[in-house]
Amino acid sequence: MQQKLIIYTDGACKGNPGIGGWGAILFYGEHKKELYGYASDTTNNRMELTAVIEALKALNRSCEIEIYTDSQYVKRGITEWIHGWLRKNWKDVKNPDLWQELLKQTKAHTISWHWVRGHNGDINNERADELANLAITEAGSSGS
């Protein structure tokens, strides 16, 4: 039986909008990969979405995935709200560019979406948060 890929993601923002960071941890068996990045003028929700998008972009083949996020916006958006947004042709949707990219990135995979309470002791969620904040720190020190 093929192992599932496990992904934890988080986004953060200093100011909203402001400098934002995203972090993702990918687990496959004994392997672990950490990713993070930043944007200079963004929002927390955009960073939450970017974390998942970038984690999925890092994959080079179709996978069975469990994604853990502390963002109800991401989880409910991709599992519930997106169907209505598609019917309405993205009318009145915030961040349509990222939602469309997320939808594109999910097509090749079988994904189970999970919400975890943020800042509640889940070690992998806490690490994803640390990565997002590290990105913000690096963004600030690079003069961006």
Choose, from 10, 20, 23, 101, the residue flagged as catalytic.
10
Task: Tell whether residue 70 is among the known ligand binding residues.
Answer: yes
- Chain position carrying tokens 């179709």: 62
129 is in an annotated binding site: yes
- Of 15, 80, 72, 63, the closest CA to residue 41 belongs to 15
Of 11, 20, 21, 37, the catalytic one is 11
Catalytic member of 20, 48, 54, 101:
48
* Residue 70 among the catalytic residues: yes
Radius of gyration of the chain (CA): 15
Annotated binding residue 10: yes
**Do residues 6 and 24 lie in contact, with contact meaning Cβ atoms separated by under 8 Å?**
no
d(CA 125, CA 9): 7
Q: Known catalytic residue: 48?
A: yes
Helix ranges, the chain (H): 44-57, 72-76, 82-87, 96-106, 123-141
Distance CA 100, CA 103 (A): 5
Has 37 been annotated as catalytic?
A: no
**Residue 41 annotated in ligand binding:** no
**Is 97 a catalytic site residue?**
no
Please state, in angstroms and rounded to a whole number, the distance separating the CA atoms of residues 9 and 131: 9
Among residues 23, 70, 77, 101, the one annotated as catalytic is 70
Which residues does the annotation place in the binding site for Mg(2+)? 10, 48, 70, 129
Catalytic residues: 10-11, 48, 70, 119, 129
